[in-house]
């Protein structure tokens, strides 16, 4: 298996690549429903509704305004060339961080709405 370098990752929101991304993460999950009956000797489960959410961190460039909370847009989260998750997501929070000995960053939290298409 060939490893993938993280430096090829990217985030696009509303069709625009967000500059200076440092990292992104996503929780892509399914709610498991308990289908255990009295006749079972072990718990039984069935998949329910899927959901996805996460965060991404960017360096603040001083020229670009932060994406406002409550914004809904198409989003693409790239692992490597040709390998991306995509769907519509809301920006739910943003967390600027300023330290005397570091570059200013902003971390965004997002919540997917509807289908998330995983990489093929």
- The domains of the chain are located at 16-30+49-117
What six digits make up the tokens of 56? 């991404």
**Cα separation, 31 vs 52, whole angstroms:** 11
Strand-strand pairing, 83-97 and 105-117: antiparallel
Q: With residue 89 as reference, give the H or E element that holds it.
A: strand 83-97
Q: With residue 74 as reference, give the H or E element that holds it.
A: strand 72-80
**Cα separation, 103 vs 20, whole angstroms:** 11
Percent of the chain with pLDDT over 90: 69
> How confident is the model over 8-54, as pLDDT tens digits?
788 988 877 788 889 999 999 999 999 999 999 999 999 999 999 99
| pTM score, whole prediction | 0.86
């Amino acid at each position: 298996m060939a490893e993938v370098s993280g430096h090829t990752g990217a985030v696009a929101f509303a069709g625009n690549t967000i500059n200076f991304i440092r990292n992104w993460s996503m929780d892509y999950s399914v709610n498991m429903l308990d289908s255990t009956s009295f006749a079972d000797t072990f718990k039984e489960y069935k998949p329910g509704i899927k959901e996805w959410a996460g965060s991404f961190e960017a360096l603040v460039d001083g020229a670009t305004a932060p994406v406002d909370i409550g914004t809904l847009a198409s989003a693409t989260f790239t692992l490597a060339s040709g390998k991306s998750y995509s769907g519509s997501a809301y920006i739910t929070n943003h967390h600027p961080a300023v330290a005397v000995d570091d570059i200013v960053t902003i971390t965004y939290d997002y919540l997917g709405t509807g289908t998330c298409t995983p990489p093929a």
